[in-house]
Chains A and B, each alone.
Chain A
Amino acid sequence: DIQMTQSPSSLSASVGDRVTITCRASQDITNYLAWFQQKPGKAPKSLIYAASSLHGGVPSKFSGSGSGTEFTLTISSLQPEDFATYYCQQYKSYPLTFGGGTKVEIK
């Protein structure tokens, strides 16, 4: 199975900060990488697929990059509604696997 490791597991940031979350795969997944946002008590929301493509309706403050084994999710200017937990997922091979999540909290 492909292991997905996110770092950090949590971070504190202020409104307006630029935030970067890293996701590493245990083997090459080319660009078969998705990112999700989950707020407390809510279902996850799909943000990014193919490492860098935004799903429809996702604001451009979210961006993704990377290929192979290392990927990043960047939020260009953190807003109150962005405080949430973020997960990566590889869909290169079965079983599909998620990272452990990164909780973005208010400083």
Chain B
Amino acid sequence: EVQLVESGGGLVQPGGSLRLSCAASGFTFSDHYMDWVRQAPGKGLEWVGRIRNKAYSYTTEYAASVRGRFTISRDDSKNSLYLQMNSLKTEDTAVYYCNRVRHCSGGSCPDYWGQGTLVTVSS
């Protein structure tokens, strides 16, 4: 059974940093791209970024709203995905979800989602 479990959320002051983790199990983690998606309270879904697998040199893509402040990384030996968040703003307050990405008829789309972890940026 595929499982994705996020952790590391909490309350942080504006300008602060936080590192989220996503522990994966039930599949060959190293084969898959992985995404982070967030959802501000009462709002819709926002894609944060993606990390590819080793075959694609672990390259990354980011939303403009987080580029330069957030960094996605992974440790295939630990079946873990990370989101390092720096220079946090109040508008980064959201539930953060990690997604497994699969090949989808020529493209790459999410299939499994974690349960999410809440990040609150407030003074």
Show the binding face of A for B, using Cβ within 8 Å.
1, 31-32, 34, 36, 38, 42-46, 49-50, 53, 55, 87, 89, 91-92, 94-101
Q: Quick one: closest B residue to A44, CB to CB?
A: B113
Q: Is the CB of A95 within 8 A of B109?
A: no
Chain B contact residue count (CB 8 A cutoff): 26
Distance between Cα atoms of A55 and B102 in the complex (Å): 11
Q: Is the CB of A89 within 8 A of B107?
A: no
Identify which of B97, B106, B114 gathers the most chain A CB atoms within 10 Å of its CB: B106
Q: Is the CB of B105 within 8 A of A95?
A: no
CB distance from B29 to the nearest CB of A (A): 18
Q: Is the CB of B105 within 8 A of A53?
A: yes
Stretch of B12-20, B39-47, B69-77, B79-87 that contacts chain A: B39-47
Q: Is the CB of B107 within 8 A of A100?
A: no
Once A and B bind, how many residue pairs between them come within 8 Å at the CB atom?
70
Chain B binding surface SS class? strand
Show the binding face of B for A, using Cβ within 8 Å.
35, 37, 44-47, 50, 61-64, 97, 102, 104-116
Partner of A91 from B46, B108, B116 at Cβ < 8 Å:
B108
Q: Is the CB of B111 within 8 A of A98?
A: no
Q: Is the CB of A43 within 8 A of B97?
A: yes
Partner of B110 from A1, A34, A99 at Cβ < 8 Å:
A34
CB distance from A71 to the nearest CB of B (A): 14
